[in-house]
């Protein structure tokens, strides 16, 4: 699976949009970009995924660049409950591999 690069941490003000970047320059054509998050002591929570097109659901939006070498997860209105570690992963099969992720802290 292609590796991803994410900033180790970022802060966000409550109520503002949080934009989380991810680089995946070695992604291959059939690999999906997935985002999960993990709050301490809980299992990873699925957020969103995409292949080529931008995607939006009730939790977030995913913007994938045209060359697919990077993507951005957008949390439109961050709340304190969004404080978590966010993992961007590239998936070819079920053998998921999480890196260090981005620790997002939402501040009141």
Partner 1 sequence: EAGVTQSPTHLIKTRGQQATLRCSPISGHTSVYWYQQALGLGLQFLLWYDEGEERNRGNFPPRFSGRQFPNYSSELNVNALELEDSALYLCASSLETHRGSPLHFGNGTRLTVT
Q: Could you say whether residue 34 binds partner 1 (CB under 8 A)? A: yes
Q: Could you say whether residue 32 binds partner 1 (CB under 8 A)? A: yes
In angstroms, rounded to a whole number, what is the distance separating the alpha carbons of residues 3 and 28?
Answer: 11
Among 9, 45, 54, 79, which residue interacts with partner 1 (rule: CB under 8 A)? Answer: 45
Among 12, 24, 27, 31, which residue interacts with partner 1 (rule: CB under 8 A)? Answer: 31
Output the CA torsion 29→100→80→59 (10° steps). 20
- Min CB(73)–partner 1 separation in Å: 14
Q: Could you say whether residue 105 binds partner 1 (CB under 8 A)? A: no
Using an 8 Å Cβ cutoff, are 88 and 4 in contact? yes
Strand-pair partners of 65:
none
Among 58, 102, 50, 101, smallest CA distance to 77 is for 58
Q: Could you say whether residue 67 binds partner 1 (CB under 8 A)? A: no
Q: Could you say whether residue 53 binds partner 1 (CB under 8 A)? A: no
What backbone torsions phi and psi does residue 16 show, to the nearest 5 degrees? -95, 165
- Interface residues with partner 1 (CB under 8 A)? 30-32, 34, 36, 41-46, 49, 51, 91-100
């Amino acid at each position: 699976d292609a590796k991803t690069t994410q900033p180790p941490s970022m802060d966000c003000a409550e109520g503002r949009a949080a934009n989380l970047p991810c680089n995946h320059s070695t992604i291959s054509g059939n690999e999906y970009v997935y985002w999960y998050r993990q709050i301490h002591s809980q299992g990873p929570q699925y957020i969103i995924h995409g292949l080529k097109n931008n995607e939006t659901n009730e939790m977030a939006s995913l913007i994938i660049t045209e060359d697919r070498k990077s993507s951005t997860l957008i949390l439109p209105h961050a709340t304190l409950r969004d404080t978590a570690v966010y993992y961007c992963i590239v998936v070819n099969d079920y053998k998921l591999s999480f890196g260090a992720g981005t620790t997002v802290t939402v501040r009141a």
